[in-house]
């Protein structure tokens, strides 16, 4: 079940995607999530808009692996400062979300939740130090904080790579073309992700694009996937298609809302146990035994 991610050993290939504002789910917020990740020996990606700050998490002195999510904010000083804070706190990688040049606002959110989200964002201990100074929270927040037009550019990736010695991962890749460009820009990993379907309706499901991306760049960088992973067999299929690990978003929030740290731990345990069972039933004793042969041979048959 153990897996090496960017040269570091973790307990299972099931990790935690960045999701904002964990205090909407539980008062202990990312503290609870981080403790659960540490107990399960897996990776937590902290959202830039986390309720608890990077420093709150560092103060826990958990030995687990933390990665920090950043955006290319319009004020690049914020991006740089957050990277420096993550480095100082001993985080192990920088993850850049590349699929949020503007906020893919949902109508329901506009109607019901916008004010709650805005109020809660103002309490983000992670963004707090920039708000009112470098960042303004207003009607367009957080979209207005992103670059004005197309979000991150490939020059931004080069800039981030020169600024930090930590591995850089791009989150939000769904095409082979972008995956190849990511490899050409020497990032260490990509997360095949469509932001959990929350940005743009009609984008491909990540599981459908995963194998083409792995075939194109899997020998140059590590490929991870998130989106809709809900069972151990979902994990098995993603690994069989070539993902080095999967990340989960909503299930962690559900666990957190139900029972804080214990709830998140339960979610991770359930997925780990289901993966273990699925591996046993498919004759895989190690993660490295999981290969594409496990999946349907339909395409091959149709060519006969
Ligand atoms: C409530 C919520 C908040 C999220 N916040 C962020 C965020 O701050 N940054 C980011 O890159 N992705 C964010 N995401 C997307 C997740 O990182 C991830 O891509 C997605 O949730 C994976 O799909 P899943 O929820 O089906 O597992 C968020 C998702 C949810 C559901």
SS (H, E, C) 119-147: HHHHCCCCCHHHECCCECCCCCCCHHHEC
Whole-angstrom distance, CA of residue 214 vs CA of residue 179: 9
**Considering its fold, how many domains does the chain have in total?**
1
CA distances from 286 to 268, 279, 289, 294 (A): 19, 8, 5, 14
CA angle 149, 108, 44 (to 5 degrees): 65
**Tokens standing for residue 199:** 């940005």
Check: CB of residue 64 under 8 Å from CB of residue 42.
yes
- Report the interhelical angle of 76-88 vs 154-163 (nearest 10°): 40
Q: Is 152 helix (H, G, I), strand (E, B) or coil?
A: coil
Reply yes or no on whether the pLDDT at 149 is more than 50: no
pLDDT confidence of residue 214: 98
Whole-angstrom distance, CA of residue 279 vs CA of residue 1: 9
pLDDT digits (tens, 9 = 90+) for 31-77: 999 999 999 999 999 999 999 999 999 999 888 899 999 988 878 88
- Burial zone of 163 (CB within 10 Å; 0-12 exposed, 13-18 middle, 19+ buried): middle
195 is catalytic: yes
Check: CB of residue 211 under 8 Å from CB of residue 242.
yes
pLDDT digits (tens, 9 = 90+) for 180-210: 999 999 999 999 999 999 888 899 999 999 9
- Report the interhelical angle of 29-39 vs 250-281 (nearest 10°): 10
**Tokens standing for residue 70:** 């950043």
Reply yes or no on whether the pLDDT at 159 is more than 90: yes
CA angle 41, 126, 190 (to 5 degrees): 50
- Burial zone of 107 (CB within 10 Å; 0-12 exposed, 13-18 middle, 19+ buried): exposed
DSSP state of 197: G
Check: CB of residue 229 under 8 Å from CB of residue 246.
yes
What is the sign, positive or negative, of the torsion defined by CA atoms of 115, 104, 225, 58? negative
Q: Which pLDDT band, with edges at 50, 70 and 90, does 148 fall under?
A: very low
Closest to 67 in 3D by CA, of 152, 162, 163, 171: 171
- CATH number of the domain enclosing 139: 3.20.20.70
pLDDT digits (tens, 9 = 90+) for 88-97: 999 999 999 9
Half-sphere exposure of 199 (CA within 13 A, CB side): 19
Which residue reads 């957050």 in tokens? Answer: 82
Reply yes or no on whether the pLDDT at 147 is more than 50: no
pLDDT digits (tens, 9 = 90+) for 212-254: 999 999 999 999 999 999 999 999 999 999 999 999 999 999 9
Whole-angstrom distance, CA of residue 30 vs CA of residue 195: 19
Which residue reads 């273990």 in tokens? Answer: 276
The percent of residues in the chain predicted with pLDDT above 70, rounded, is 87
- Of 14, 15, 16, 18, the residue with max ligand 1 atoms within 8 A of its CB, to mutate for a pocket test, comes to 18
Averaged pLDDT of the chain: 90
Reply yes or no on whether the pLDDT at 300 is more than 80: no
Reply yes or no on whether the pLDDT at 119 is more than 80: no
Radius of gyration of the chain (CA): 19
Name the closest-CA residue to atom 13, ligand 1.
Answer: 19
Which residue reads 């979902």 in tokens? Answer: 234
- Gap from CA of 295 to ligand 1 centroid (Å): 27
pLDDT confidence of residue 37: 97
**Does the beta carbon of 196 lie inside 6 Å of ligand 1?**
yes
pLDDT confidence of residue 134: 58
Q: Is 188 helix (H, G, I), strand (E, B) or coil?
A: coil
Which residues constitute the domain of residue 13?
Answer: 3-303
Q: Which pLDDT band, with edges at 50, 70 and 90, does 30 fall under?
A: very high
- Of 230, 249, 250, 255, the residue with max ligand 1 atoms within 8 A of its CB, to mutate for a pocket test, comes to 249
Check: CB of residue 190 under 8 Å from CB of residue 223.
yes
- Gap from CA of 121 to ligand 1 centroid (Å): 15
């Amino acid at each position: 079940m153990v897996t090496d991610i960017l040269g570091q050993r973790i307990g299972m290939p099931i990790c935690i995607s960045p999701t904002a504002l964990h205090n909407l789910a539980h008062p202990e917020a990312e503290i609870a999530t981080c403790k659960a990740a540490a107990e399960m020996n897996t990776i937590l990606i902290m959202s830039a808009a986390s309720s608890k700050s990077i420093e709150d998490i560092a103060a826990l002195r958990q030995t687990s692996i933390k990665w920090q999510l950043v955006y290319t904010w319009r004020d690049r000083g914020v991006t740089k400062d957050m990277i420096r804070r993550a480095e100082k706190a001993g985080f192990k990688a920088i993850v850049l979300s590349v699929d949020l040049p503007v906020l893919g606002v949902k109508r329901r959110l506009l109607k019901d939740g916008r004010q709650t989200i805005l109020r809660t964002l103002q309490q983000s201990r992670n963004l707090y130090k920039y708000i009112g100074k470098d960042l303004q929270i207003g009607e367009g927040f957080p979209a207005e904080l992103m670059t004005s037009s197309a979000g991150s550019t490939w020059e931004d990736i080069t800039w981030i790579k020169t600024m930090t010695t930590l591995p850089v991962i791009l989150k939000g890749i769904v095409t082979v073309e972008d995956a190849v460009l990511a490899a050409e820009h020497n990032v260490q990993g990509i997360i095949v992700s469509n932001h959990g379907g929350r940005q743009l309706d009609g984008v491909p499901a990540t599981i459908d694009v995963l194998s083409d991306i792995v075939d194109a760049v899997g020998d140059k960088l590590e490929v991870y996937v998130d989106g809709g992973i809900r069972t151990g067999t979902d994990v098995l299929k993603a690994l069989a298609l070539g993902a080095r690990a999967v990340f989960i978003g909503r299930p962690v929030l559900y666990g957190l809302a139900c029972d804080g740290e214990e709830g998140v731990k339960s979610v991770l345990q359930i997925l780990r146990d289901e993966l273990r069972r699925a591996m046993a039933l498919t004759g895989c004793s190690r993660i490295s035994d999981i290969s594409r042969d496990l999946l349907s041979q339909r395409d091959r048959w149709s060519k006969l």
